[in-house]
Structure formats: structure tokens, C-alpha cells
Amino acid sequence: MTHHPRHERVVEAIFAAVDELNQQLRRSQRLAKSLDTRITGDGSLDSLGLLNLIVLVEEKVDQAFGIPVTLADDQVLAGQADAFHTLGSLADFVHRAVAAKMKG
Amino acid sequence: MPGCLVISDFNPHNFCAYLENDKEVPALEPIQAPFGLVQPILSDAGHPIWQTRSDFAVVWTQPEKAVPSFQRVLEGEVVPAEALLAEVDAFCSLLLAAAARVGTLFVPAWVHDPADRGHGMADWKRGIRLALTRLNLRLAEGLSAPPNAFVLDAQRWVAQAGIAAFNPKLWYQGKILFGNPVFQAAVNDVKAAARGVRGEARKLIILDLDETLWGGVVGDVGWEHLRLGGHDGVGESFVEFQRALKALTRQGIILAIVSKNQESLALEAIRKHPEMHLRLEDFAAWRINWEDKAANVVALVADVNLGLQSAVFIDDNPMERARVREALPEVLVPEWPESPLLYRRALLGLRCFDTPWLSTEDRVRAHAYTTERQRNAVKQQAGSLEEWLKGLAMEVIVEPLNAANLARAAQLLNKTNQMNLATRRMTESEFKTWAETGSNRVWTFRVTDRFGDSGLTGLASLQVENGSGWIADFVLSCRVMGRKIEETMLHWVVENARQAGAREVRAQYSKTAKNQPCLEFWHRSGFAMRGSSAFVWDTGQAYPVPDGIRLRAAAPQ
């Protein structure tokens, strides 16, 4: 599947966030930089880990695109649980958010 | 692995996570107390958290939680300073009690989000900054007495992190007060402080010359044309770098030179250039030649009786840095900026010099090495070791452990690696308690000679029980090793053991990675060997004071 170049930059931003998050995690808990990596559900990030990942992704996306996106807002999260299933679904969600902001 | 108890009124999860994963030594195991319960935990000596054996504790609070009246200041009220300070004093009494339960206590200074302008232009007259500064000053004063409690500069962590210092999203959704750059800076400083407490701070800076201490290549342009001082930003930056190095010598850091140069030309530049801030007497030693720098570093470190783990190597040339880093992994070789304008900042940012106590000996250590060089010059002229020692006119002054010498004695005990019989590491209070227990006795030894005072450089402790004396500690600074001070100390210990009724004196050597010189001394000490690592002296026989050394007791305090 070929992605929009902007999607590639979103993935880079998310992987940069994963690099930083991994500095906080034990070796056995660290996330692989793969779009298939699960971030919620059994055996994945706990609630603080997910919060830290979301905040880091927001920072990296802001740095990459100059666009502030809010992923951690409860209202944004409502109905978007699938968005936080894997790094790949998170990338799709962030890409849509960035695209919407750019159009707006 | 040493434990680090973390007591906080916000969620310290991220701090603990960075602390656990940090690769710098020493590795610390964070032990997170339930957050938000600072006062109950501090005031309850029976709380289970105190049962964890923690070498270190970090008590990290928000000013408005530790000092409730500060919340009123945040809400715009004008609160009398006396009310604020009384609450700081009450909090300090809790911290002091906590300090008695752990090895070392770290308390990050109180900070407040710089985004809050408080009373704006009048904030330093009646607002948040004025009150917060008073709080921190009182906190520092309150924790100044115990030797194992330290306020850490959290305001610098916040300043370095800038806008990322406070992260409202982490706060409102995770009760994590700070952004991660603050926690990372905090971990760096806690680790640096822990190294300092454990006697692992670096003591020696080895410097290159051309393009490091001055601009230009002295062999090419001559000392008169070096870029150093003058009406030139680069020249000025080299002088400022030298000033910062000189300031470190006043904290006990020793300077030395390893440079590929013609020695006579390089030394001429140091002596003659009018804008040199550092002069020859500021350097303990130098190796200026065309040999391999790694080999020169090894030789130089041996010259000043230190280990490679004490050394920092600063060189503008990345090839030389890589060479020393690869050949000598124990030496700290910091990456160095290309621009001389950044040298001073790079130096001041190094976190390897933290030391908890600054004794008189520390302040004059650089000078001590200069006089050591003069001693060695005499040694080269002298025909024999005995002749050299007599020429030094040495005096050893012995004094029991007391309040005045406790800090330096504990520092010596904890920092000395090579001539250290048992390598016991104890805080001041632990050492004092040990010295006051039963028949235990501790003496300190000060060494002077015609070149100067080497300061308190020796330590010996003795237990006498059932007619037998045990030397618990036998410690001598590498600065005076090999000058028969060792034998002089043994004379004192044996004589005191005999007077206390001991028929024999025993010493048990405990091997470490670094105290082989101590074992070598005991082999030639005259004590009889028992097994592979114990040594015995029969007190029926006097242990003589070496010729040429005068031993005397200090006047009572």
C-alpha cells in the first residue's frame, strides 16, 4: 500500500516519539518501531505509557508540521478507540487530523 | 544495586522510569513511594517505605504543597514572610528526620511555572518570585547542617527545558508535574550527586594546548601571535575558558597538559604570553612531546598518583579524542564543540566534578601538586630514597577523629582507592558513630614538609578486644604514598595497641579492583603474613618510626 508523503512524515514523527518513550520503558516493555505494534490491550502500554506516547506524538507532529494537534482530549478519544490499537492505526488517525488542520 | 527512594507530591513515574533506564554510573533502583503522601511518610519513622534499604532518597515537592501559605501567594494574596518561613522550617524538620533514615537525601529546589507572571513588574516586590526565592533560601539554610542532605538546583532544570518544562497535558491527565526534559535533567544531576557522594567524581583535567587552551599552533606562529585575549572574540573566549578552568582548581580539580608540541616552545608560551590566565604553577604535570597521547595520558596520570577513572581529557582534535577514548575507556573524553566560543559552556556543563564537601585540602590541591613537582625535582638529585626523605624534613601530625576533622576524614575514607586496606565506605555520621563505639579508635594524619602542607592525608582505625588489636581502616592519599608515611602510621597504631593491652596487631586486607598498591605495601611492611591476606605484628617488638620523619600528636582541641 502506497501512502501519501505526508503520511510517511507522520510515521517518522511517531517513530521518533517511540524512541523517546522507550527510554522510559523497561527493555521487555519497549515498543518495536513497526506499524503493527499494538499500543493498547493486553500486554501493551499501561495508561501512563499511553498518555506519555500521546503527548510525545503531539510534540513530534508539532515539530514536523508546525501544527498543534490534540490527541489526548477525551472528546477526541471518544469513538476513536480503534485509532489507538496499533502504531499504524495511530499514524492513520494523526494523518487525518493533520490533513484536516491543513485544509482548515 | 543501590536503591533510591522517591517521595513526591506529584506522580514521579517518568522520573523513576528515566532513573531506572539511565546508563550512567551508578545504576540506581528507584523505589517509588505512593505519591501525594509526603508529609505522612516523612513524619512516620515506622512507615514501611523506610524499611527499604535506600542509599539515596529524593523528596520532590511543589512549593504550595510543602508550604501551604504559598498557595495564597499564588492566588494573589500578600502573605507575611514570617508565615511562609515558619512553614518552611516545619517542613525542614521533617526533611531532617528523613535524612537520618537514609544514606543521602536530595531535595530539588522549589520551582514554579515561569509562564505565570505573578504580579508582573512588581513580582519581586510582593509576588511569587520574591516569596519563592525566600522559601528556597530558607530551605537551603535549613538543610545546611547535616552532611548528607543536599538541595538540588531544579530551577536550572526548568530553565534548560524552557517551554517544555511544564506540560499541562501530563499534569491534568497523569498528575505528572513536569515535562520529560526536566526529569531527564533531574536524573543527570541525581546521578552526578550520587557519584560525588560515592567518591567517584573526576579530579583531573588533561588539556591539549593548540586550539584548546589558545588559538593557533604555537610551533608555527610563535607565542606572540597566538589568539588569546585582546580585542578579538575568539581570543577572549580562550581566556574565559582558562578562567573557568582556574575556578575549578579552587574546587580541588587538578589541571595537566598532554600536547603534541615542542616542550620548550609550549612552556615559553605559558610563561610569557601576557594574556595567559593559567600559568605553569596551575598545572600539576605535563607531557609535551610527539608521542601517542593515550600513552602520555597513562604516564601523566601515574605521575600524579591518580587512577584513569579520575581523569577527563579535553582536546579540540576529534582524532585524538577518539584515540584516547578507545585506548582508555576509563578516561572521560567529552565531545568538544568546534567553536572556541562554546568551550567555556561545554566545560561548565560537565557533570563529573560534583563533590559533596569542599575541604581546605580540596581548595589547595592544585598547589599541592606544584610543590610535589618540586619534591620530585629534589628526588632526582638525591642519591637514595632515604636521602630524599631526609631532605624533605617531613613531619607527621596525628590527631584523634574529632568534629573539626570529621568531614575531611570521611571524605578521605570514601574517596581513597589505592592505599585502602578495607575500602569501607561510610557517611560522616556512620563513621562518627563507629569511632565512638566500644574500644574503637580513629586517628587522622597530617603531613608537612619543607615544601608545604599536604594536609590531612592519612587515616587509621583500631579495635582492641581480648588482647588483640585489629586495624579496621588503613587509608593514605596517593599524594603522599611511598614516603614512609605508611610505616609512620603503623608505628602509631602498634604503639597505641600495645598501650591498650593488645599483644598483637592484625590487619585483614580486602581486595578491590584498585587497592593492589595497598597489598604491596603490607607485603613489605614487616608484618608477618597469615594466610593470603592477613598480616600480624607482635607488640612485644616496637615498630620503628622511619628515619628522618618527625611524628607528633596535635595539640588537643
Q: Are strands B452-465 and B419-420 parallel, antiparallel or unpaired?
A: unpaired
* Spatial distance between the Cα atoms of B546 and B68, rounded to a whole number of angstroms: 64
Number of C-alpha atoms within 13 angstroms, CB side, residue B78? 6
- Read off the pLDDT of residues B20-57 as tens digits, 9 standing for 90 and up: 999 999 999 999 999 999 999 999 999 999 998 789 99
Are B448 and B392 within 8 A, CB to CB? no
Q: Are strands B283-289 and B104-108 parallel, antiparallel or unpaired?
A: unpaired
Cβ burial of A75 (10 Å; 0-12, 13-18, 19+) is: exposed
**The predicted structure's pLDDT at residue B230:** 86
**The predicted structure's pLDDT at residue B301:** 94
Chain B interface, best mutation among A23, A25, A76, by max B CB count within 10 A:
A23
Residue A20 with chain B: CB contacts under 8 Å: 180
Among A44-48, B66-70, B392-396, the range with the most confident prediction by mean pLDDT is B66-70
State how far residue B112 is from chain A, nearest Cα, in angstroms: 21
Chain A contact present for B167, CB below 8 A: yes
What Cα–Cα distance (Å) separates residue B349 from each residue in B37, B40, B106, B205, B244? Answer: 34, 37, 20, 14, 11
Are B148 and B427 within 8 A, CB to CB? yes
Contacts (Cβ under 8 Å, ≥6 apart) of A77: A71, A84
Q: What are phi and psi of B321, to 5 degrees?
A: -60, -45
- Read off the pLDDT of residues B298-340 as tens digits, 9 standing for 90 and up: 999 988 888 899 999 999 999 999 999 999 999 999 999 999 9
pLDDT at position B452 over 90:
no
Are B175 and B162 within 8 A, CB to CB? no
Chain position carrying cell 585502602: B420
**Inter-chain touch A26–B21, beta carbons under 8 Å:** yes
What is B124-141 written as a DSSP string? HHHSHHHHHHHHHHHHHH
**The predicted structure's pLDDT at residue B551:** 95
Residue B260 one-letter amino acid: K
Q: Can you give the length of chain A in residues? A: 104
Taking the mean position of all CA atoms in its chain, how far away is CA B37? 33
B18: nearest CA in chain A? A24
Chain B contact present for A25, CB below 8 A: yes
Q: What are phi and psi of B474, to 5 degrees?
A: -145, 105
**Core vs surface per residue B276-314: b (16+ CB within 10 A) or e:** bbbeeebbbbbbbbeeebbebbbebbebbbbbbbbbbbb
pLDDT at position B214 over 60:
yes
**Inter-chain touch B169–A20, beta carbons under 8 Å:** no
Worst-scoring range by mean pLDDT, A31-40, A67-76, B275-284, B472-481?
Answer: A67-76
Are B317 and B333 within 8 A, CB to CB? no
Selected residues 181-210 of chain B with any CB under 8 Å from a CB in chain A: none
Chain position carrying cell 599536604: B454
Chain position carrying cell 605484628: B537
**Inter-chain touch A23–B173, beta carbons under 8 Å:** no
**The predicted structure's pLDDT at residue B455:** 86
Chain A contact present for B13, CB below 8 A: yes
**The predicted structure's pLDDT at residue B538:** 96
pLDDT at position A73 over 80:
no
Q: How is residue A104 written as a grid cell?
A: 482548515
pLDDT at position B262 over 90:
yes
Are B261 and B219 within 8 A, CB to CB? yes
Query: Between B18, B169, B176, which is nearest A23 by CB?
Result: B18
- Positive or negative: CA dihedral B400, B402, B405, B410: positive
State which H helix or E strand residue B6 sits in: strand B3-8
**The predicted structure's pLDDT at residue A1:** 54
**The predicted structure's pLDDT at residue A77:** 59
**The predicted structure's pLDDT at residue B61:** 98
Strand partners, B361: none
**The predicted structure's pLDDT at residue B47:** 94
**Inter-chain touch B20–A20, beta carbons under 8 Å:** no
**The predicted structure's pLDDT at residue B369:** 76
**Inter-chain touch A20–B180, beta carbons under 8 Å:** yes
Q: What angle do CA B517, B521, B526 make, to 5 degrees?
A: 165
